[in-house]
Amino acid sequence: MSHVLLIEDEPNIAEAIRFILTRDGWSVSTLQDGAAAMAAVHDQKPDIVILDLMLPGRSGLEIVESLRADPATHGLPVLMLTAKGAGREREAAERAGVSQFMTKPFSNADILASVRALAGR
């Protein structure tokens, strides 16, 4: 079973995404704080990381930069979520190495299609 690590500090959004993905056959673990993100990635070895841009502890951009700098996680697919759809955030995320970028609010179909595409399904 493919595993998604979801790092999102909004409980309602995290629960909605977890529900959508588990119904589609994914194993989903959640984290609400950016500070523990790298340890969780190394412990859980997810197939995909879904990550909010604005997180307590450590920003989504910092986490992506760390993932890309680490040979063990360099190619890990990362879907970044943000309430800020501004071009500046998108450019910074792309420079940091985000695989895909999605603005909140998003539809269930969009999140599912993105995760499936990142997983090569």
Average of per-residue pLDDT values in the chain: 94
Which pLDDT band, with edges at 50, 70 and 90, does 50 fall under? very high
State yes or no: pLDDT of 49 exceeds 90: yes
Region 2-28 average pLDDT? 97
Show the domain range for 29.
3-118
Q: How many domains does the chain have?
A: 1
Contact status, residue 47 vs residue 77, Cβ threshold 8 Å: yes
pTM (predicted TM-score) = 0.95
Residue 92 neighbours by CB under 8 Å, 6+ apart: 61
Region 110-115 average pLDDT? 96
* CATH number of the domain where residue 47 is located: 3.40.50.2300
Which pLDDT band, with edges at 50, 70 and 90, does 85 fall under? low
